[in-house]
């Protein structure tokens, strides 16, 4: 598994920097956002260092699929209401113009009662 020794999220996934872990398996790590934009806000990252979505290769498709598949389950576990009366948002920022601040691919999962500040 590739890691960038200077990457904040690689360090979090390796347990070198503390986080509020939501989920972990051999390929992905999820943790609460330190500056939440909604009542429920966590990030899902690959443990493999991937700077941004644009960096993903065809062989990364199963990993990206697992990340997306985990979002609804983790959102529900974190307190998001299921169904059309509840729900959540999944957001990926890519590059500076896309609002990306940490260059390690991450999915933002936001939910809970609205309105949110973001």
Tokens 């529900």 map to which residue?
76
65/107 Cα distance (integer angstroms)? 12
Q: Name the helix (H) or strand (E) containing 110.
A: strand 107-111
- Range list of β-strands (E), 10-105: 21-24, 28-32, 40-46, 88-91
| Catalytic residue IDs | 106
Tokens 């933002």 map to which residue?
108
């Amino acid at each position: 598994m590739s890691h960038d020794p200077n990457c904040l999220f690689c360090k979090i996934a390796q347990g070198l920097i503390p986080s509020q872990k939501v989920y972990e398996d051999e390929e992905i790590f999820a943790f609460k956002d330190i500056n939440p934009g909604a009542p429920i806000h966590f990030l899902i990252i690959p443990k493999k260092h991937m700077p941004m979505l644009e960096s993903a290769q065809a062989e990364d498709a199963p990993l990206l699929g697992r990340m997306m598949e985990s979002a609804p389950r983790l959102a529900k576990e974190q307190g998001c209401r299921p169904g059309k009366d509840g729900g959540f948002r999944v957001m990926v920022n890519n590059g500076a113009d896309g609002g990306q601040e940490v260059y390690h691919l991450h999915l933002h999962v936001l939910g809970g009662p609205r309105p949110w500040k973001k």
